[in-house]
Amino acid sequence: MGGGSVSSQGEDSCSDVDFSILSSNSPIRDNMSMKVENDTVNGENGLAQVETGERNIGPSSFDLEVNNRRKERIYREILQNYDGRRIRCNTLKEEREKILSYRPGLWTENLGGSKLSDYDVPKTTCLLFIGPRGSGKSSLINRISQVFDVDKYAPARAQVSCNSSTGDGTYFLQEYMIPRDSTSICLYDTRCLSGNPNDDDRILYQWMTEGVCHGELVLRRTDDQSLKKLLKKRACKTGCFFRKRMKVNFVIYVVNGLSVLKSLENTGTLETGYTDMVASTFNCPYLPFKDDKPVLVVTHGDLLSLPDRARVCAYLVELLGIPPAQIFDIPECDDHVTEFTVIEMLNYTLGHADRNYPPKIRTMDKVHKASLSLYLILLILGLGIAIALACNKFRRHGHLDAFGWKTIASGSKHKVPGSQPKIEWHKIRHIW
């Protein structure tokens, strides 16, 4: 069951495995548990105890055993999920029609007395795909598209790099409607995460707050100048300046299962760095919607045996703190179980997107804000008119002082004919 093990099954039969046998012979204890010296296991309660003549349970051995049991429970639950999908895939047609009939807000729950009209429901539900280099985001989008394409021989929509280490990857945001002629579901393919926290956080923040736009160039601060110059030339040919930005409604995080398994079986910096980056970016504070973290999809499972795929999923569940129901293993396999897993993943994602739509701004709030803005505009306009009239009067009539002299705008004075000086009698009363 090493990291380089390759399933001997054909690509069209990735799921032809007896799951019940696998779940009864769990390798999780052999690979992930540790034995405590001179410890035995109590047959009645399964807790480790030290053979000292007394039934004392050391805190370290207790925690270790509880941790091992939790890991084994997660592993078995994941295997049961594989088995459950194999059984439920006979409803593939009905579940597929459910996605095809989806409209944004269709699965929104009326909680707290609210109605669908109380939410800001978009015309299109936008699902953002993110992940490290070589995680298989573009291949996954092609796989999803093929599930709903009427023409099974239609060409792939997303550009895929055969060699992730030398390929260009996705530098421009790409929008794909599912199905092709629909406006209900939109998948956004993105440039891979770099592993640099400053770059990744800045880009993720921009996508989650400002939205995404088809054809938009994604540049990093760490990109070399020659690459930036080349990409900007490409961007000039397409241009997305007048295209509408789309708000992200939920996030799908894609990881390479083979890379995760290498991290499990190696302790080198390069291998462990992959899972460290996954944990860091997955828990980025901009990605969740309320308490809902992104959906996790594991790819490249067709290159691994089923036990190794289950080990990878169990490890990611603990690493990222998500339930097993939130992780979906979607290999490059053309079979009913894979198609059903794709549809189940979309069901989960769209359902959580529908329940996290922001509340709509009330009409009275809009009217109040508009009235206040209009009042301030009229006030400023009135003050401006008053000042302009005063200045104009000064220019035309000047200022008449107490002795009948008129001061004009140029500053010169002249006597106004017929004007009588204004005498302030209270100031000269001492004369008489």
Q: In what order do the strands lie in the sheet with 413-415?
A: 399-400, 405-407, 413-415
Least confident of 17-21, 52-56, 200-204, 365-369: 52-56
Rank 81-90, 102-111, 168-177 by mean pLDDT and report only the highest: 81-90
Least confident of 256-260, 302-306, 402-406: 402-406
E strand or H helix that includes residue 298: strand 295-299
> C-alpha distances in angstroms, 300 versus 40, 162, 163, 260, 390?
40, 13, 14, 11, 78
125-141: pLDDT as tens digits = 999 999 999 999 999 99
| DSSP of 202-258 | HHHHHHHHH-B-TT-B---TTS-HHHHHHHHHHHHHH--TTSPPB---EEEEEEEHH
Number of H helices and number of E strands within the chain?
12, 11
Average pLDDT (212-228) is 92
Class of domain 84-354: alpha beta
- d(C-alpha 168, C-alpha 150), whole Å: 30
Res 8: pLDDT: 39
Res 124: pLDDT: 96
- Domain spans in the chain, listed from the N-terminal domain onward: 84-354, 398-432
271-316: pLDDT as tens digits = 678 999 999 999 999 999 999 999 999 999 999 999 999 999 999 9
28-67: pLDDT as tens digits = 544 444 333 344 334 444 433 434 444 455 558 888 889 8
315-359: pLDDT as tens digits = 999 999 999 999 999 999 989 999 999 999 999 999 999 999 988
359: left (phi over 0), alpha (psi -120 to 50) or beta: beta
Res 166: pLDDT: 55
Q: State the pTM of this model.
A: 0.74
Q: Name the band, by pLDDT with cuts 50, 70 and 90, for residue 202.
A: very high
- d(C-alpha 50, C-alpha 241), whole Å: 70
What residues form DSSP beta bridges with 407?
399, 413
Contacts for 34 with CB less than 8 Å, ≥ 6 apart: 64, 68
- d(C-alpha 196, C-alpha 330), whole Å: 27
DSSP-derived secondary structure letter, 361: P
Average pLDDT in the chain: 80
Which residue type occupies 143?
R
Q: What angle do CA 70, 256, 300 make, to 5 degrees?
A: 100
- d(C-alpha 412, C-alpha 373), whole Å: 44
Average pLDDT (373-395) is 79
Classified as helix, coil or strand, 404 is coil
- d(C-alpha 270, C-alpha 281), whole Å: 17
* 368: pLDDT strictly greater than 50: yes
Which residue in this structure is represented by tokens 């922001």?
Answer: 358
* 119: pLDDT strictly greater than 50: yes
- d(C-alpha 330, C-alpha 342), whole Å: 7
- d(C-alpha 395, C-alpha 199), whole Å: 60
